[in-house]
Amino acid sequence: MVAGGEAGPEPRHGGLLAVVLTVQFLVALDMSVVNVALPDIRADLGFSADDLLWVVNAYALAFGGLLMFGGRLADLVGRRRTLIAGLAVFGAASLGGGLVGSPGALIAARALQGVGAAALAPVAFALITVTLPAGPARSRALGLWGMAGAAGGAVGVLAGGLLTEAAGWRSVLLINVPIVALALVGA
């Protein structure tokens, strides 16, 4: 029982909730974490001021443009498969983006991250709504899902600065790799 006498999520849903909250945190984190590193990225890879915007926009456009496709893909091939595929694409693109040596390769990696995120976000939301019964447990899970997104955005700005300062701009992309690995194990 949870404070107030309401039952919390069933224990079998705890693992699922941990995975979908991690996914939501990760998708939001990646929207903001790179922004702080942009000056260092520009200096290291030789981006022009205009082209540098594509480091952020490639992710946002692929993500926003493919969200509905990600949801439909989950309907067609299954939520778990879509979740695992989205995590694999997102993780591989994060690793690739952290290792690139040219502006074009970084923009491509960021777009691929957006593709992975577009598969992840609708699946994470759908898993909550179809797995947890209507009522307090689902409402609490959806509140946590929203909080994970907000936390990811806020932590991204802070972590972006700390990581860039301590380990260089590549670390803002490479930080996703262990998080994705944990989510894949959970999935």
Report the SS3 class of residue 95. helix
Q: What angle do CA 129, 136, 81 make, to 5 degrees?
A: 20
Q: What is the pLDDT along the chain (187 residues), one digit of tens a residue?
A: 333 444 444 556 778 899 999 999 999 999 899 999 999 999 999 999 889 999 999 999 999 999 999 999 999 999 999 999 999 999 999 999 999 999 999 999 999 999 999 999 999 999 999 988 899 989 999 999 999 999 999 999 999 999 999 999 999 999 999 999 999 998 8
Phi-psi region of 102 (alpha: psi -120 to 50; beta: other; left: phi over 0): beta
Per-residue confidence (pLDDT) for residue 5, from 0 to 100 = 41
pTM assigned to the model: 0.89
Per-residue confidence (pLDDT) for residue 6, from 0 to 100 = 44
What contacts 22, CB < 8 A, 6 or more positions away?
Answer: 148, 179, 182, 183, 186
DSSP string, 5-35: S-----HHHHHHHHHHHHHHHHHHHHHHTTG
Domains of the chain from N-terminus onward: 21-38+49-186 (1.20.1250.20)
First to last CA, the chain: 26
Per-residue confidence (pLDDT) for residue 10, from 0 to 100 = 53
- Lookup result for tokens 């069933």: 10
Per-residue confidence (pLDDT) for residue 27, from 0 to 100 = 93
Per-residue confidence (pLDDT) for residue 11, from 0 to 100 = 52
Give the number of other Cβ atoms within 10 Å of residue 185's Cβ: 8
Per-residue confidence (pLDDT) for residue 142, from 0 to 100 = 93
Q: With CA atoms as reference, report the closest residue to 122 among 19, 23, 26.
A: 23
Per-residue confidence (pLDDT) for residue 12, from 0 to 100 = 61
What contacts 175, CB < 8 A, 6 or more positions away?
Answer: 33, 159, 163
Task: Report the alpha-carbon distance of residue 109 to residue 124 in Å, rounded.
Answer: 22
Per-residue confidence (pLDDT) for residue 77, from 0 to 100 = 97
